[in-house]
Amino acid sequence: MTNTVKAYRAAILHSLADPAVVGVEQSYEYFEDGLLVVEDGRIAQVGHAADLLPTLKGVEVVEYRDALITPGFIDTHIHYPQTGMIASYGEQLLDWLNTYTFPTERQFEDKAHASDVAGIFLKELLRNGTTTALVFGSVHKQSVDAFFEAAQALNLRMIAGKVLMDRNAPDYLTDTAESGYADSKELIERWHGKGRLHYAVTPRFAPTSTPEQLSLAGKLYQEYPDLYMHTHLSENRQEIEWVKALFPERSGYLDVYDHYQLIGARSVFAHGVHLCDEECRRLAETGSAVAFCPTSNLFLGSGLFDLNKLEQHGVRVGLGTDVGAGTSFSQLQSLNEAYKVMQLQGKKLDPFKSLYLATLGGAQALYLDDKIGNFAIGKDADFVVLDYRATPLIAYRMQQAKSLAEKLFALTMLGDDRTVQETFAAGQSVHRR
């Protein structure tokens, strides 16, 4: 790779730690007139433009006016095959899967179709400033090949896996315990650790896997030390009752995954809306993470996620869109809904906590905080340029704002894909509005 240095000048904001741990004031770093220096796809320096510019003789400086540079957003739970069925009307989880999801995912048997959708999906993520995501494929291994091929072409840091599903789903969409294990292993050998790609063992959720399949999934997850495990947990009350009926010998939903050795570092459970204290404790002590997916939880009527409860137990929490049940690819829109989820419980969501959830918190949930999540020197240069004048209303609102906190909050309430002026992955521009 050639030795390339480039600098980006704008207001710059990034998280340093969880505000719940260190307090809001210590949780971030902000440069009103900042400079982000990128070398060979990594962060070389960040600071005040006045300090850094004199040290950078001959370096190209790209300036953005009325803009805020933040780390790229991290989506800790999303389904790429469901891109075309986003905003499908009127069901709760289990009916929604049967009515919309399964017929849609059937189409991913066709590799060409999968490649088309992977391209649309990644473009949409980048249009929304999301540079890393933990992604469900379909049950077909070619769906994951298609996804990783598209992600690799853009040099994105992405995590994905083939769905494991050998019961309680249509015949056209099931694998077997053995074939699911073998296909996943083949994909791991082909993609895991290749460039910026990572593999996640991906049982859809406990009800659609037999004990034999969960057992082999656990074996696989333990076979490779840095592998991910990605599934759903305690999203919907009807679903929880179903898990109890299917696994009467287990003490609860999480205990099913625990029994099959599917929890631990790099395991990510989407939703966790209805977790008890004991389950939160177990998630925390095993270093597992939960993906908070506000737009999806509201859309499917699943319930209100108790962020404070998980926080108090020390559970790692990232932010997820859960498209297609989620209604937006935008993490700004996820934060808008997250704020309302908290309000409905009489709680607050500080704007700097929101920034943390969408960036460094997501990186910590994914054990990628040594590589992404903020502008620490040496990390991947994955970042977004947010436009303070994206719409007439945002521009007008920003004129009234008296503090950074006020600006940041208004951006999370009013912002969406229009707010994202440019997105960079490993120092390369991958989307320009």
User: Which amino acid, 197?
Assistant: L
Nearer to Zn ion, 322 or 382 (CB): 322
Nearer to Zn ion, 202 or 419 (CB): 202
Token pair recorded at residue 176: 């077997």
| Binding of Zn ion by 239 (CB under 5 A) | no
| Binding of Zn ion by 322 (CB under 5 A) | yes
Per CB under 5 A, which region of 176-184, 242-250, 317-325, 394-402 contacts Zn ion? 317-325
- Residue 366 CB, shortest distance to Zn ion, in Å, is 16
Select from 382, 380, 410, 416 the least CA-distant residue to 394.
Answer: 410
Helix (H), strand (E), coil (C) string for 167-233? CCCCHHHCCCHHHHHHHHHHHHHHHCCCCCEEEEEEECCHHHCCHHHHHHHHHHHHHCCCCEEEEEE
Nearer to Zn ion, 270 or 290 (CB): 270
Select from 160, 166, 173 the least CA-distant residue to 75.
Answer: 160
Nearer to Zn ion, 270 or 381 (CB): 270
- Residue 343 CB, shortest distance to Zn ion, in Å, is 24
Per CB under 5 A, which region of 40-48, 98-106, 220-228, 322-330 contacts Zn ion? 322-330
- Residue 270 CB, shortest distance to Zn ion, in Å, is 5
String of contacts with Zn ion for each residue 245-284, x by CB under 5 A: -------------------------x--------------
Comparing every residue's Cβ against Zn ion, the nearest one is 322
Per CB under 5 A, which region of 185-193, 249-257, 320-328, 341-349 contacts Zn ion? 320-328
In 43-92, alpha helices (H): 49-52
Chain positions 42 to 101 lying near Zn ion, rule: CB under 5 A, are none
Nearer to Zn ion, 68 or 270 (CB): 270
Instruction: Count other Cβ atoms within 10 Å, centred on residue 400.
Output: 9
Nearer to Zn ion, 43 or 310 (CB): 310
Q: Is 162 helix (H, G, I), strand (E, B) or coil?
A: coil
C-alpha to C-alpha distance for 384 and 131, rounded to whole angstroms: 9
Instruction: Count other Cβ atoms within 10 Å, centred on residue 2.
Output: 4
Write out the residues near Zn ion by the rule CB under 5 A.
270, 322
